[in-house]
Structure 1
């Protein structure tokens, strides 16, 4: 007798792991967005915020490794589920009925890959400061009279490049579509929805996705339009 669990059980388990790892990344996005909003404040706030984040390498790298692990689990689980779905339907449908599946649901694997490329570029751009983005400037920390990296100016200079801003706008738009369906699916899986109820899971998912989309988008757009100096 085979000791392998039924495929349905495996799929449910994978979907749970996918949703849980996605929730971790979603919560990080909220914190990351709130931190980025400090670019609208005087230079002191964002630069000191970045300085204190990096002042404890143990905590910083623990969080980074935890998020990296969540991302790896999320991506690998999504690929496994995609392979299972492909194996269950080796031949594509002859007639596509869009009303039975949203555009976001049909393109989740594609949008996910685009978001992954965006994350790698974002790290290259601001974390590793790879060429041609190796901009360095110091900011005087008033309390200790110590020179610390001017992160705010680095962000402003980065988004003054029209190609960078265009790529961010495109990637954030794809992230919005990906996140909107992911949140809706996660809330649906909680089992509180029925055909007679208000589709609250769709309303909440779309609202949170839109808040994050606008919250991240206003930063590069405001800088590119010279509304932030």
Structure 2
């Protein structure tokens, strides 16, 4: 069986990586907005979390869809990285500033760090595994009702009062920012609306979106750790 030309294979992988990355980026926006409910009274974040958990079919469909997008994104990124390495087995003797940005040269490594961060985030808040098992005892009771639900807001506050957890989140979010900044810039570049004589709008838009997501996620652990939320 003949192998497809490498250029077609690379284009297909880039399409897969870009489309799956866009799905994950849109999820980040929704997740960020959900996190902001920590600044509201406990009722809002807890009922929001309870509503999601009360629809297991919908919740698991979304989770499996996001997991599929993540797997496609990671596999296509690693495959592209290997193709690029095979195309140039010997590294450049001199890296000039206009050849490639630091973010583009380290995308595979920043992506692996982000993946580790995702796994820890699930370990921390979703699975509540040791030493975070005490989160399972956090319950929120509705007023004038005997119904108790998991107190997700209290988990968030308790989690980010730990300085080591907060520091890890800040470092991971910073790496995510640089990863996202280059990823969005590459995605907008691939739309083909940019030429060498035009304003680098794709860079401006990509950096702005990445900064909004970075600040939007960062404000929660910082506000909790500084005791601005309780």
- Structure 2-normalised TM-score? 0.97
Q: 1:204 to 1:150 in 2, by over 3 A?
A: same
Counterparts in 2 of 1:8-47, with a 5 A limit? 8-47=7-46
Confirm whether residue 56 of structure 1 aligns to residue 85 of structure 2: no
Structural mapping, 1:1-229, within 5 Å: 3-134=2-133, 135=135, 136-142=137-143, 145-229=146-230
Residue deviations 1:137-169, cap 9 Å, x none? 111124754111110000000000000000000
Following the alignment from structure 1 to structure 2, what is the Cα–Cα distance between the partners of residues 146 and 71?
A: 36
| Structure 1 contact 25–67 (Cα < 8 Å) conserved | yes
For residue 98 of structure 1, report the CA deviation from its aligned partner. Answer: 2.6
Q: Gapped runs of 5+ residues in structure 2? A: none
SS where residue 98 of structure 2 aligns?
A: helix
Q: Secondary structure at the match of 2:34?
A: helix
Give structure 1 stretches of 5+ with no counterpart: none
Query: Could you state the TM-score of these two structures normalised by the residue count of structure 1?
Result: 0.97
CA RMSD of aligned residues (A): 1.0
SS in 1 for 2:62: helix
Deviates more, 1:178-187 or 1:96-105: 96-105
2-structure distance, mates of 1:142, 1:21: 42
Secondary structure of the corresponding residue to residue 148 of structure 1: strand
Cα distance in 2 for partners of 1:202, 1:43 equals: 39
Cα distance in 2 between the residues matched to 1:86 and 1:33: 35
Q: Which stretches of structure 1, 4 residues or longer, exceed 4 Å deviation after superposition?
A: none
Distance 2:223 2:46 in 1: 19
Change in 2 beyond 3 A, CA 1:13/1:131: same
Single out whichever of 136-145 and 24-33 deviates more from structure 2: 136-145
Q: How many residues align?
A: 228
The alpha-carbon deviation at position 196 of structure 1 amounts to: 1.4
User: For 1:198 and 1:104, how far apart are their aligned partners in 2?
Assistant: 21
